[in-house]
Every structure is written in C-alpha cells, then in structure tokens.
Structure 1
Amino acid sequence: MESSKLNETLIEIKKGNDLERERLIRHYKPYIINVVGHICKRYVTWSSDETSIGLIAFNRAIDTFEYDKGRIFLNYAYLLVQRDLIDYFRKQKRHLYTISNDDHSEHDQAEMKASLESYQQSINTSALVEEILELDEKLSKFNISFEELESHSPKHRKTRIKVMEIASEFIKHHDLVDRLVEKNVFPVASFTKRTRHRPKSIERHRKYLITIIMIQLHPEWRQLSTFVQVGPGSVKI
C-alpha cells in the first residue's frame, strides 16, 4: 500500500471507520503473521496465541501512529508487536516455573520450552526496543527515521570512527548542543567556524552524525551504545 494511501486510510480509521480498519488488517494479515513468526523464530498460524498478541499490537499501532512525524508505519508496528511479544514471553517464563512437568504432556512441555527459548532470545532486546522508540521520537524532529540510518551510515570503518569523533567534539560545545536540541537543526556554520571540519563533510553525514550525538547525549540508552558501532554494519536492526 502506498504511503499516501496508507495515511489516508489511517486518518479514516481514527475517525471511527471500522470497515477501513478491517480492510487494512486483511491487507496486512501476511505481514503480521510473518513478523510474529520472525520474532518467535518458529512457524505460527493466524490462530496462534502469539499471532493474537501481534494483532492486538498492530491495532494499537493503527491507533497511535502519527504519520506527520516522519515515521514508517510498518516499522513502527513491528516495534510494538516485538515489545508485546517480549512481555508475553516474560510472563510465560514466570508461569513455567509454577507448573510441574508431571502435569503436562511432552508436547506442552516442548511448547513451553520453545516459548522460553524465544523469551531468552528476545529479552535482551527488550530494553533496546524501548530505546529505539525513544531515539526514533527524537530523530523525527529532524525528519530522520531510525529505519533509514543504515543507508545513511558511512560505508568505511575509518569514516564511521571520524564521525563519532566529530560527535564527541560537538557535544563539548554546550551552546551548540542547546541550539541543536531546541531548534532541531544542526548548526553547521557555527560548528565549522570553531573547528577545522568542512561544512561539506558535516552535511554528507548529517543524519548519522545527529544520531550519534543523540545517543551520546543519552547515556541511559545503554543498549544503543553497542547497537550503533564502528565495526562492519554500523547500524543494524
């Protein structure tokens, strides 16, 4: 579905058009199943409990998505589905320890074990999902979406290291940081006048640079500090 058409549909749904909601869900039914299966790392059907959780999260994405903030709807929906499934696996883990193995068939035990393994794989990303949502909110003010960062990140390791050094140098200028945060515009002219960096270089890596600066300004985002790295594939989801 084209972005403009999708936005029009979301607006209609927010106005209370349930028919459009049903049509949208029917259209993205394969997407929802694929996302849930990818997160659970096993085959799921439309009647699976995990898929029901994914559907509820997808519905919430429809209700809460703000199309005018530069986000991509499907990526936003993915993050909500992932977060809800992580919560589900967490609850299943607690439930697993309250049930005796003798009370269940081997099939039930295998299902619970699979869910627990999925939980173990997913829990490490729980904090990361929250941090990505927070970062995405910050970046949207600069008309940057988290999903596009990989295509804008420097291809060479040496360049990525250089951009990170520039970001570290930038945050030492507190007045420029204030201007960046308040006006949501990178003060290229002011920064380059104080340093030996060329405006052309700054502008070439502007989106990646702003992202690194945002992460450095929020040390509480511990997962993102390793998520964005200088090695191969500097930004990955």
Structure 2
Amino acid sequence: MSALQILGDGDQNQEKRELEERVLKAQADESSGQREALLGEYRSYVIKIASRICKRNITIQDDEYSIALAGFNEAITQYRRSEPSSFLTFAYMVVQRRLADHYRREQKHQNQVPLIPPDSRENEPTHREVVAESFERYRERELAEVRRLEIQQFSQSLARVGISMNDLVKSSPKHRDTREDMLAIARKIAANEKWMEEFLHQKTTKKSFAEKVGCHRRTLKRHRVYLTALVLVLIEDLPLLRDYLGLPVEKKGGGLGAEGDCNEEKSATLCGADS
C-alpha cells in the first residue's frame, strides 16, 4: 500500500472532469481557444502557487511568474487522462519542478550548467516512437520525484507531532466508512484554527472537544493518530495527498513547518498494512 492509499479512497467530482475535458480539447485542437482561455482563467492560480512555492509574493513582473505560467502551459500539453492525479495537481507539480530547476540553474550559473538538461526532448532522436517513449519516462520520473518529496514532507510534519509513518500504518482504519467519518471530522478541525491548535498540541482528547466536533471521545482517542494525519494533509502543502482524498489542491489552513529526515524506504513500504 502506498502513502496515498493509507489515508483513504480518492474521488473525482464533476468540476475536475470538466476541466480535464477542456485540457484534452486544448491539446487536440489548438484553434479551439481553450489553451488561451485556460491560461487566462488560471493566471491568479498560477500566481498563488508560484508565491507559495517561492515563499514570497510573486507578481506578473517577476521572472518566476513567467516560469510558472510556462509550467502551467506545459502541464496543459503534457496532461494525460491516465494521470493518477487531477489536472490542477499535475500542473502544481510541473510548476514546482520548473521553479526548482530555475533556482538550481541560478545557483550553478557560474559553472555554466546548460539550460537544456541531458534528458531533454531536444536532445532525443527525431524518430516519433523514441521521442514519445523517452518523454513518457521523463514524466514518470518527474511524478515519482514529486511524490517522494511530498512523502518526505508529510513524514516530517508527522514527526513534529510525535507520529511516525509506522504509527500511521498501524493505526489506519480498515473500514472505508470509518475513514470517511474521520475525514469529515478532520475537515471540521482544519477549518477552525482554535480547534486545530487544541487538537494538534494537546496529548489527551477532552470530552468537551469531542462534543464540539460531533464525535464520541473514545472514537477520537482510538483514531487520534489517523485523524492527526488527515488534519496535516488538509493544512500542509501536500497536493498529491489532498487530490487523492478528493479535496481542493490548495491548502485551507496554516502549515506546520518541519525539519528533519525521512526514511524513504520506510515511507515507500507503508505498503504492508491493510487500510
């Protein structure tokens, strides 16, 4: 079982499907005007995620905005219906990687690092099948890298509240109904800053708190580890996990900064427990 699977079952709503249909139409017919429409409609979204990734306010005058917008446009070109994430999550990942590449190039500029990486499509043979296969491998590597970084961040966030990935695996509910109930409670907690602070920073679950969120105290106590993980997904910058739960890509609350290390093999093998 993957880290995504531990937290629950994914869901796609009508709005996501309609957006993805527009993206596919933009790919299929450049004269449809869909690409230009999408770039215009989602300009504020691009600014918002670029500001979040860069950890400062980005404006349309900044180079980062141009890079982020180009990344969003690239996402429109690259997105496939078979992607494991929604289009906006996929676009977020592409923009994130493009900005990371930009900063790496800036840092290594004095060493004359080429702007075109060795595995760029521009260096591939022109045979169509070879290019297509190489491009798919490149996209798969990108997705795997973003997923790895997100699992690492999630592990660090859990560690800040005294939870390990192993704890999460052991405590994950087996029944879907229970997972859905916990997600509903997690959303209530994440939407209320005072409740969130109380829940994350108190070691015991009070009866008064359980009553506020509409759940029995024993139930909250039994599923506290799992519920904490869900709250962190809702407030942290974790678009893949949020998308898997059928939640908006953009976070709704303040994040808990985390430092530390993650045992990657352990994260990848989350895998053994039944949810």
Q: RCO (CA 8 Å, sep 6+): is it higher in 1 or 2? A: 2
Structure 1 length-normalised TM: 0.46
Structure 2 length-normalised TM: 0.40
